[in-house]
Structure 1
């Protein structure tokens, strides 16, 4: 553990203005707008100092000024290299300031292949590099395409029923294909394989009869078969293609990814050579299944990326493992340096053209309906592949590699990792700017190996990298390291000139015992003038064992003193003082300084440069240049309003780090490192980005994946030159038009109007009917009926007589 002294010192720097915000202090807060003049003096250990650019550490045991005041051990390297004895009190052999160390381990000259040796296309082949953080090293290396370089071409063909005529055409063109490639290189090998799909439902019919003959004249279905090993006997190619039988399946996509994976990883079975240009020609007229599709057939085990071919060349795990993913294919392509050529029909070209953009070193070409143009297509794609070169690396997120080259021309060097228009014998020089951007937390990662390689070629520059993240004097067994040292009162470990104290002791020499102090638990009482304040040492010193030790000044002539660091000899008002500081310094016209110190840029990306490299120093002031990029301005010529900014370059990282969107989101490199972690900066969340735009910051905006406008500001830290990015947490999104709501609203309005009209019609009809009925009732009540008798009316009378009756009983 670091001693309590260092903890108190660090805490004082972080939470109080003591070490930077009183007048003339060498350190200040970037956000407060005060520029940091010296980033080194605040570093408390040698390892922290070593990880700060341009800083050096003095490990002298008693490092003090002439008057005995302690001096900051970490300071600018120019401070220790100065010759003035009044300033430098540290012997040069006790200054820890290691430089980057570069050594070439293997450097075989570029050469063509012969019967005595293999071709060499990349030089050098192996280097070692010992580097400090943020101090770049430029590594120059060369690439030259060797004449008559070996070529391995493996033809992988879709043999479903729809490709039957293509198979026949390929068998006839086999000799021509071999002859064409042998005209390009005499060291040529050719092989052949085919594929259909997984033999499970729903990819193929599992009816027993269909498993034997899925279509008329078809062979039994299969996943992938390796028919012909890569061989110089190309005359057998046509025969193998002709003997291969077509088969059939049910769904439209094919199992091509299974075949590609096996054709790449089965190195011994296929016969791939290490020192050869490996071409895998993939021919099909259909789409492809990929990871996850296997679940439709009940296959849930992920593809393991290993070879599974039996003695007959058949893929044995077709029904056991899922299809590979695009990223798995890409990883294996890069690992084995294979160039995949997708030769597909016109209706499938767009799909495979998007696929090749996600597989390194691959390309796509349009195949005719019967594959009659296959020879011209392979030749054209091979020439396109070999006429350009792209350099990449597999460095971790702690290392940044930037490439520069003028390619084959004699123009200016520019930032690029790709050159085109190459011919056999064209030599291209690249410069790789290698930077350690941060020290990994795990010390085991301070030593790394990574490769700088041309895409599709199994050659590389192997870099053994050692990061200088710790001083040697902080490691046991080295000079300057001693446990229970007398310099540390026998309690702590002496390292690099300072003491690392155990838990119960603190102080510069571990002289303070927490249990035996006389302040009754208040360790700070002796560092306050009275009980009316909680400020220790006036924020201008450290409280050590109850006494103030005042901070030293960068200028040894300036001294802070007093029991509570309340006095100094440099804060007096000199505005009306002596002219030119007295007659010994000059009389009038002293406004021009004898040095250029006032023109040295103290902050930003051009720190410690004269006028930021964009102007000249005249009489202590910068006179800015006007270049082709634009007119520079500012006190140190650090600004260029008309120059192109870095908004577009920083946008992908801002999207990924802040909003988890963009091209880098949820993606990993071939080593499983999240691409977000490779971003060379951390974002700072702010409520409003515009508030952080000052003189040397740039405001940037971009449209995110959700069509919302995001805003961020970038600038450079005043002391370290580190890139800083402030991102506004909220995005400005356009008003979303609710189309469905509008449609439903219109429909609702129409229905409502219709219902209203019906209601009005009903009301009017009812009123009209009631009026008519009332009129009828009124007329009926007014009608008069005559109830008199008819004078000619007589009622009918009937008389009955019995002729047999004579009135006697």
Structure 2
């Protein structure tokens, strides 16, 4: 039997495992959604030999399919580059092959309230086709409008173990009041009833025949035999039928504290036809005053077969296969409730409330409420839980195919209600009736899908779904494919996306060369430098038909140019603001420099007064280059500014303290100077630091207003040395104390050593030893075996 503490540890561990998986998926999706498109274009697209490989290499890559776009000997890989680069090299826009993904709305019924909640359209759109290019995120919106009066099915699942005897009396009169309260907020309500105890095997219940017939302590009270789960009343609008069937129920009994509630929840979720669930808001009210058995506990009763996840109700509504299958796990229960779109309300007593709160974290769209000892507050508890569940909108999706990631953002009705309380961007809380919430969903694929995939979205607790058809675009649709195309030397090859694929026996960019002539020395001479010297094609390509077919970023008649060897700025070729051609950067407009690192903009040089570099420098490469004596990002500081401290020092001293060289005629010498003496801290380095004739330190700040100068003087604050004196005294006392202790310890050590030496000296002078001492007795006793001695003498 699983104890409460063991169950809590199990639930917390499972909760952490799911959270890590959610965090991993969520973080991958959000990183894709936050990708900066400008940064992804810089130095990311690399040459590729075919259009398909080009568009799969990076989402920024484009392919030029124009015939004869590459020069003689230039590799076909050069057709793959950034769109801007291909256009700059002369590729017409209509010849660019640059497929992109996109979302397409296929069905979008407008949101509506319906009649009393029935027939309402709360989720839009209903069907979308999303085409993904690997590496390129696509985004679409999902809208939800909470309708008024949406119908409700409520199934009341009650623990009928003996400890719930008082609670049963309250539930017997619950039906009419519950239907009345719910009809005030919804158009249609149906209610059903089921009960549970535990598996009818040892050690969960007593198998003594008399106890199986009457498990309650007193023989005089009404009691029914134990059972696992009993479906009593299908969902109905008849409140009297609910009260009548509940009135016929009696409590039962079992041996251990945990109950078989998981068996009951699983059967109530799986047996939808028997329970009578409709496509409305489904609520399952679970009431109990104790813990629950979970997977593995069945082994105590000799049950080893795991729960098969199927409905096993017999004609009487009893879970007939309970002794055959183990209890379901938390994961099975959560999955079954989510698949059936059932929202559980756990109404439990205070002693086990923390356990069910941990359980609720593992079951989507579930709430927990504290039940009084006699269930007298169950009606208000159900109403509060229903209001909480119906006002929480959580968007969920089905399983994702491999290589596809998802992220969410939400608009919950205003900037102040952007996301859920826990920061969950697929959830909105406190949603009112007729309030619309909007979700932004971002999908990104990192690989091609072998076939289209259907991804389903739904709002937990509601039956409407959004179906998303996922497709991936992983190939080019150039539209120029021809077998034996005339462009390829009169039909010697097949044309696809501007590139000739030669038939067997032909080689060359246009299939112009027979393979038999490949090794001709005369042809190879055309692939070498002057006088036939140097390696073939500069070692950067192959010689075919007397011409060089360059590889990679090489170009030129002899592949002598390397279009990847230009200067780099911040690790990026040509700074990302130019095109590398034969080792030289050809910069875009408004950029200069060997690596196009110099921008023609002046934004970073603009001074607050509207000028450039504060008038004390010139702007080059969008940076200020200051004149001699000035420094700072805007040349707004100068190394000679501190000379004003020397010019105004004497006026500051005589005006503030009446001392110094100008003390006798301060008013005449400093006629245009106003001295203000104040106190406070010195805030920055603009303050001048000086000393008076009597060595008193002071600071002053020079402010010029027209032809007058204002000196703000602040003498150095005198520190209160009281604390320093106190700390010094305490420190001195401590030091003296430590010295005294060490001195005492040293004197004791010296005395002990002297006494020991004296003792050793006296011991050596003794005339008596141990052997002569009559009081001494040896600690060793010698025993002689007479038999052993006799045998020795005979031998």
| TM range, smaller chain | 0.5 to 0.7
Check the 8 A contact 2:517/2:545 in 1, yes or no. no
In structure 2, distance between residues paired with 1:502 and 1:300: 66
Question: Which residues in structure 2 correspond to 1:216-615 (within 5 Å)?
Answer: 216=217, 217-274=222-279, 276-394=280-398, 395-410=400-415, 416-432=425-441, 434-440=442-448, 443-444=450-451, 447-472=452-477, 479-481=479-481, 494-498=495-499, 518=519, 540-541=540-541, 548-551=548-551, 560-561=555-556, 563=558, 565-566=559-560, 595-596=589-590
Question: Which residues in structure 2 correspond to 1:24-43 (within 5 Å)?
Answer: 37-43=42-48
In structure 2, distance between residues paired with 1:378 and 1:572: 72
In structure 2, distance between residues paired with 1:131 and 1:40: 18
Check the 8 A contact 1:597/1:620 in 2, yes or no. no
Q: 1:771: Cα distance to partner?
A: 6.2
Q: Does 1:619 align with 2:584?
A: no
- Cα deviation, 1:84-140, whole Å, max 9, x if unaligned, reads 6xx2235x4442223333322222222223289611111211122223223333312
In structure 1, distance between residues paired with 2:380 and 2:252: 27
Q: 1:205: Cα distance to partner?
A: 2.2
Q: 1:460: Cα distance to partner?
A: 2.6
SS in 2 for 1:595: coil
- Cα deviation, 1:645-665, whole Å, max 9, x if unaligned, reads xxxxxxxxxxxxxxxxxxxxx
Check the 8 A contact 1:278/1:456 in 2, yes or no. yes
Q: Please report the RMSD computed on the Cα atoms of aligned residues, expressed in angstroms.
A: 4.5
In structure 1, distance between residues paired with 2:195 and 2:536: 81
SS in 2 for 1:184: coil
Q: 1:346: Cα distance to partner?
A: 0.9
In structure 2, distance between residues paired with 1:528 and 1:57: 31
Q: Does 1:164 align with 2:165?
A: yes
Who is 2:207 aligned against?
206
- Cα deviation, 1:192-247, whole Å, max 9, x if unaligned, reads 11111122222222233332222344322211111111111122212222212222
In structure 2, distance between residues paired with 1:373 and 1:312: 31
In structure 1, distance between residues paired with 2:528 and 2:321: 78
Q: 1:280: Cα distance to partner?
A: 0.7
Q: 1:36: Cα distance to partner?
A: 8.9
In structure 1, distance between residues paired with 2:47 and 2:566: 25
Who is 2:62 aligned against?
56
Who is 1:752 aligned against?
none
In structure 2, distance between residues paired with 1:501 and 1:73: 18
Check the 8 A contact 1:406/1:412 in 2, yes or no. yes
In structure 2, distance between residues paired with 1:210 and 1:492: 91
Q: 1:46 aligns with which of 42, 46, 51?
A: 51
Check the 8 A contact 1:390/1:419 in 2, yes or no. yes
Q: 1:284: Cα distance to partner?
A: 0.9
In structure 2, distance between residues paired with 1:142 and 1:95: 36
Q: 1:253: Cα distance to partner?
A: 1.3
Check the 8 A contact 2:101/2:131 in 1, yes or no. yes
Q: Which moved more, 1:157-166 or 1:504-513?
A: 504-513
In structure 1, distance between residues paired with 2:473 and 2:550: 32
Who is 1:556 aligned against?
none
- Cα deviation, 1:402-461, whole Å, max 9, x if unaligned, reads 2223312255967822222221111122222x2323124x522xx111123222221232
Check the 8 A contact 2:50/2:77 in 1, yes or no. no
Identify unmatched segments of 5+ residues in structure 2. 1-38, 568-586, 608-620, 624-765, 777-795
In structure 2, distance between residues paired with 1:116 and 1:420: 20
SS in 2 for 1:381: helix
In structure 2, distance between residues paired with 1:95 and 1:128: 25
Check the 8 A contact 1:598/1:621 in 2, yes or no. no
- Cα deviation, 1:778-803, whole Å, max 9, x if unaligned, reads 9xxxxxxxxxxxxxxxxxxxxxxxxx
Q: 1:322: Cα distance to partner?
A: 2.0
In structure 2, distance between residues paired with 1:209 and 1:139: 65
In structure 1, distance between residues paired with 2:207 and 2:564: 94
Q: 1:538: Cα distance to partner?
A: 5.4
In structure 2, distance between residues paired with 1:624 and 1:306: 74
Check the 8 A contact 2:591/2:599 in 1, yes or no. no
Check the 8 A contact 2:193/2:233 in 1, yes or no. yes
Q: 1:485: Cα distance to partner?
A: 7.0
Residues 47/562 of structure 1: CA separation in 2 closer, same or farther (3 Å cut):
closer
Check the 8 A contact 1:403/1:431 in 2, yes or no. yes
How many pairs does the alignment contain?
Answer: 549
Q: 1:290: Cα distance to partner?
A: 1.7
Who is 2:773 aligned against?
775
Higher helix share: 2
Check the 8 A contact 2:117/2:147 in 1, yes or no. no
In structure 2, distance between residues paired with 1:170 and 1:292: 32
In structure 2, distance between residues paired with 1:125 and 1:270: 28
In structure 2, distance between residues paired with 1:498 and 1:622: 47
Check the 8 A contact 2:284/2:342 in 1, yes or no. yes
TM-score (norm 1): 0.59
- Cα deviation, 1:458-505, whole Å, max 9, x if unaligned, reads 1232211211122245xxxxx444568787898986543346689999
Check the 8 A contact 1:129/1:466 in 2, yes or no. yes
SS in 1 for 2:184: helix
Check the 8 A contact 1:175/1:235 in 2, yes or no. yes
Who is 2:17 aligned against?
none
Who is 1:672 aligned against?
none
Residues 159/543 of structure 1: CA separation in 2 closer, same or farther (3 Å cut):
farther
Check the 8 A contact 2:41/2:82 in 1, yes or no. no
TM-score (norm 2): 0.60
In structure 2, distance between residues paired with 1:333 and 1:525: 78
Q: 1:289: Cα distance to partner?
A: 1.6
In structure 2, distance between residues paired with 1:546 and 1:636: 49
Check the 8 A contact 1:128/1:463 in 2, yes or no. yes
Who is 2:133 aligned against?
132
Q: 1:377: Cα distance to partner?
A: 0.8
In structure 2, distance between residues paired with 1:202 and 1:193: 24
Check the 8 A contact 1:596/1:620 in 2, yes or no. no
